Amino acid sequence: MSELEDDWDLALADAKERARAAGRRDIADYLDLRRRNDLLRRTASDWLINSAVSIAARANRAGAGIQIERDDAHRFRRGSATMVGTRITLRRGVRTLTIESGWPRTPRDGIVRGGGLACANLKHLGRPRMNEELLLVSSSHGSPQWFTLDRYEKRSLLTESDLQRHLAILIES
């Protein structure tokens, strides 16, 4: 977790306590929900990024020669909203796979459409048909799940084998 995220968590906890002390349970409940959702978002985004890096590292141990770059202060657009989060860029020769994950942090950033908590993109440079948009949704039992969205917004559960498929596209000659 970054220093900024630590500070954000402390600020939310402080605001929640001040709201409770002022008798504003509605605000305290909202801030508690925000804290829980941020934890789900961070956990799911970390899983997505770390899984892709782990798959690339395994491929590198087998001789793939993938360069890995990480940007933890990345901003990207999804519709009219701005997502803030992490981007990794995996390069192999001229081929590039970019994975970006984030969510709006301030009201002016907008909202995640479709009832999601966060968004992500898997982008293959020069191969737009291979790209996928992802939506993070909280399941009925509370754990977050990434779904791929097709052009009709139909959802399919994202699995580690889907990430392996994207890395295979990067590696193929």
Higher-confidence position of 126 and 17 = 126
- 2 falls in which pLDDT band (50, 70, 90)? low
In the block, residue with structure tokens 């220093």: 3
Summarize the confidence of residues 2-23 as an average pLDDT: 69
In the block, residue with structure tokens 């360069």: 67
In the block, residue with structure tokens 């009219």: 80
Say if residue 80's pLDDT is above 60: yes
Phi-psi domain of 132 (left: phi exceeds 0; alpha: psi -120 through 50; beta: other): beta
- 12 falls in which pLDDT band (50, 70, 90)? low
CA distance 103 to 119: 6
pTM comes to 0.83
Say if residue 133's pLDDT is above 80: yes
Summarize the confidence of residues 76-97 as an average pLDDT: 96
Q: What is the pLDDT of residues 87-104, one digit of tens each?
A: 999 999 999 999 999 999
Containing 13, the helix (H) or strand (E) segment is helix 3-21
- 115 falls in which pLDDT band (50, 70, 90)? confident
